[in-house]
Amino acid sequence: MTTTTYRNPTTIARIVVALVGVGCLLLTVQGAVQATGRGAALMSDREHDLPALQHQVDLETLWGQFVEQVPTGSRISLTPARANRDLWRQRLSELAVLHGCVVVEGAPRDYTVGVASVQRKRPTSAGVRLVVRKVD
């Protein structure tokens, strides 16, 4: 006669929750490291770190346009950008949360929001613009 032992379901659930938490922590740390690096580059030598300055100008431009065009509390869905898809999806999600909006997938939404690349007029001018469409 053999004895079969079963694992406790709460132990398995705890392991799964711990693994999901570690995965989320790793994703968060990656963004924090990049933001810290860009911030340090801007503080130490703004003139000679053009890509960091351009990225900062792009973010500030998008923030200003987001505040002007999307009402607080709106439900928005994100339209994928042609370039740097993951970056702009993350940044637009952050801007939405900062402005009190909710990012939704699918039907009940008020606006679709995306990022379009534009030609820079000067090296330190914005290279993106916000594309906002009201959903009827």
Span 4-13, average pLDDT: 79
Residues 18-74 have pLDDT tens digits of: 999 998 888 888 888 888 887 777 677 656 677 878 888 999 999 999 999 999 999
> Are the CB atoms for 123 and 116 separated by under 8 Å?
no
Q: Residue 33: what pLDDT?
A: 86
Kindly state the helix (H) or strand (E) to which residue 29 belongs, with its residue range.
helix 9-44
Q: Residue 65: what pLDDT?
A: 94
> Are the CB atoms for 21 and 53 separated by under 8 Å?
no
49-134 CATH: 3.30.2300
Every domain of the chain and the residues it spans:
1-44, 49-134
Span 87-107, average pLDDT: 90
Q: Residue 45: what pLDDT?
A: 66
Q: Taking the CA of residue 60 as centre, how many other CA atoms within 13 Å lie in the half-sphere pointing to its CB?
A: 9
